[in-house]
């Protein structure tokens, strides 16, 4: 039977230390409830002695979240331990996480203590905490830069004093995976009573190696990992919960380990964390980034559509997404476009698909992403319209505060190409006046509206016009990234529809 890795989530404590990510008590509680749904084993809810707000948040979470263990951070002082107990005393599964620095760098420059003084402070703190807590964790801050023999000594003393978990932090993200793995292995081998405690690791991402170091430590024998949702935390952040969990899940044969995480809650937890903290997940972030299950390259799209395993090592449904995203852009191929058209409910002939593909590629050169509405707008314009009497060939408009709005239009009328120019009170009015003059239409424009059918600064606009001539009223639509061009297309589409209904009425 596979061993289980303990997931210690510190999003509410270390994650909150991300610049600008401070959370109030209610926000922390909401996220803690989601972490409980996610299935984490331990929630480090805060550092009670840091502030009154932190203490109240830890207390609220400890009283209302009963599934996971609720942990609080404390230094080796009695004041910190008392504060942690006051915040956690109503929890049914409280844990205290006592830390002190162990590297020579910290001992000399920060603590100004000897190694013997650090050992004594550790033992005294754990023994005092033992009066209140049955579950005690000891963390050796800056462990990856500490003397390995000293680490073994202090972990042995901590376990003898009552610690059930000993934690090795790579506090500044300095370690390399091979040396961190070797350090964990050394501690496991040279700490006589290590079998009486769980070996934990807590890695930071300053060199982008937090997940790699954590997974390497697991292979070396660590059985608790300290992580955050979306990898938020001090400086470059902490090890990402989702990366470690899905690494173990996806590579079962490599690790032969399990976690208690309900992976389909990963994406909801990521979204909630981003919403509460205001920290946007980078698009190319592993597992939870918006691009993680998105495909734009034509070769990749073709493979995904034939067999998802070609380019996806995880199913998006596993982390709580409904499906992968085929992103239509300039790198997309015919297969992806054909599949998208079918999903939208349209059936096109091969020659129509080829024509649509050319229009699609032209638009994709202007736009970063082509959305469903873009495709439907092109289909409506190309294939669902009435037979063309009028067709726009060329449009150039001059307008501005110091120029009279002027439109130059080249238009095919029953196959005959004509060109003319006209003026108006604005660029669209000038365009309409010129087209109306060329078409010799008697129709009246009774409605004009513009809508953005896609989002963003580079959105494609859709224009709708309503034309009236006698008893006939028709709608015309046009779409284009340039709103003046879209207006011209809509007006011409309306004129074509008007001619169609007029001719149809004569034949009935």
CA gap 215, 222 in Å, rounded: 9
Highest mean pLDDT among 265-269, 287-291, 327-331: 265-269
pLDDT, tens digit, 9 for 90 and up, residues 118-162: 999 999 999 999 999 999 999 999 999 999 999 999 999 999 999
Phi, psi of 296 (to 5 degrees): -115, -35
Given 321, 347, 382, the domain boundary residue is 382
- Return the C-alpha torsion angle 40, 156, 145, 117, nearest 10: 120
Number of compact structural domains in the chain: 3
Q: Average pLDDT of 469-480?
A: 83
* Same domain, yes or no: 196 and 306: no
Q: How many residues can be counted in the chain?
A: 508
Domain span holding position 440? 387-506
> Nearest-5° angle of CA 478, CA 483, CA 488?
50
In a domain? residue 124: yes
Given 245, 277, 309, the domain boundary residue is 277
pLDDT, tens digit, 9 for 90 and up, residues 189-241: 999 999 999 999 999 999 999 999 999 999 999 999 999 999 999 999 999 99
In a domain? residue 62: yes
CATH number of the domain where residue 122 is located: 3.20.20.70
What is the rounded average pLDDT for all residues in the chain? 87
Taking the CA atoms of 73, 93, 2 and 165 in sequence, report the sign of the dihedral they define.
positive
In a domain? residue 140: yes
In a domain? residue 253: yes
* Same domain, yes or no: 462 and 376: no
In a domain? residue 288: no
Q: What is the DSSP string of 375-390?
A: HHHHHHHHHSSPPPSE
* Same domain, yes or no: 185 and 210: yes
Half-sphere exposure (Cβ direction) of 157: Cα atoms closer than 13 Å? 20
* Same domain, yes or no: 373 and 414: no
* Same domain, yes or no: 326 and 417: no
* Same domain, yes or no: 402 and 483: yes
CATH number of the domain where residue 404 is located: 3.30.160.270
In a domain? residue 286: no
* Same domain, yes or no: 377 and 399: no
In a domain? residue 287: no
In a domain? residue 284: no
* Same domain, yes or no: 321 and 345: yes
* Same domain, yes or no: 374 and 395: no
CA gap 430, 435 in Å, rounded: 9
Taking the CA atoms of 328, 333, 338 and 343 in sequence, report the sign of the dihedral they define.
negative
Check residue 296 and give its pLDDT. 47
């Amino acid at each position: 039977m596979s061993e289980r890795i303990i997931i210690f989530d510190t999003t509410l404590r270390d994650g909150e230390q991300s610049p600008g990510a401070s959370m109030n008590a209610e926000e922390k509680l909401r996220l803690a409830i989601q972490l409980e749904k996610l299935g984490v084993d331990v929630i480090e809810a805060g550092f009670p002695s840091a502030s009154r707000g932190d203490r109240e948040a830890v207390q609220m979470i400890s009283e209302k979240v009963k599934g996971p263990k609720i942990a609080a951070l404390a230094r080796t002082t009695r004041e910190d331990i008392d504060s942690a107990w006051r915040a956690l005393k109503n929890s049914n599964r409280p844990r205290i996480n006592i830390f002190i620095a162990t590297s020579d760098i910290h001992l000399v420059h920060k603590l100004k203590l000897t190694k013997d003084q650090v050992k004594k402070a550790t033992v005294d703190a754990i023994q005092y905490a033992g009066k209140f807590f049955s579950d005690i964790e000891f963390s050796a801050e800056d462990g990856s830069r500490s003397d390995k023999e000293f680490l073994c000594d202090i972990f042995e003393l901590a376990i003898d004093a009552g610690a059930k978990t000993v934690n090795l932090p790579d506090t500044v993200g300095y370690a390399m995976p091979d040396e961190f793995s070797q350090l964990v292995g050394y501690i496991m081998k040279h700490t006589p009573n290590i079998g009486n405690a769980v070996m934990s690791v807590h890695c930071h991402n300053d060199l982008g190696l937090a997940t790699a170091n954590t997974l390497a430590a697991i292979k070396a024998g660590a059985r608790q990992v300290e992580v955050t949702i979306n990898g938020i935390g001090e400086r470059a952040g902490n090890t990402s919960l989702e990366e470690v969990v899905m690494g173990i899940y996806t590579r079962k044969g490599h690790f032969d380990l399990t976690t208690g995480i309900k992976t389909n809650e990963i994406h909801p937890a990521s979204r909630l964390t981003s919403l509460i903290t205001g920290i946007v997940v980078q698009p190319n972030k592993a597992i939870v980034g918006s691009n993680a299950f998105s495909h734009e390259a034509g070769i990749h799209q073709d493979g995904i559509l034939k067999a998802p395993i070609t380019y996806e090592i995880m199913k998006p449904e596993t982390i709580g997404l409904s499906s992968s995203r085929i992103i239509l852009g300039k790198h997309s191929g015919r297969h992806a476009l054909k599949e998208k058209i079918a999903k939208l409910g349209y059936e096109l002939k091969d020659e129509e698909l080829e024509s649509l593909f050319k229009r699609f590629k032209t638009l994709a050169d202007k736009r970063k992403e082509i959305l469903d509405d873009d495709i439907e707008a092109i289909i409506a314009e190309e294939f669902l319209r009435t037979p063309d009497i009028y067709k726009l060939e060329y449009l150039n408009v001059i307008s501005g505060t110091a120029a009279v709005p002027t439109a130059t239009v080249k238009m095919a009328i029953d196959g005959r190409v004509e060109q003319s120019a006209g003026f108006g009170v604005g660029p669209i009015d000038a365009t309409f006046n010129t087209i109306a003059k060329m078409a010799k239409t008697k129709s009246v424009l009774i409605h004009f509206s513009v809508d953005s059918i896609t989002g963003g600064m580079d959105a494609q606009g859709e224009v709708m016009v309503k034309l009236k001539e006698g008893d006939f009223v028709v709608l015309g639509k046009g779409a284009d990234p340039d709103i003046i061009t879209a207006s011209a297309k809509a007006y011409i589409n309306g004129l074509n529809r008007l001619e169609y209904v007029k001719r149809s009425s004569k034949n009935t």
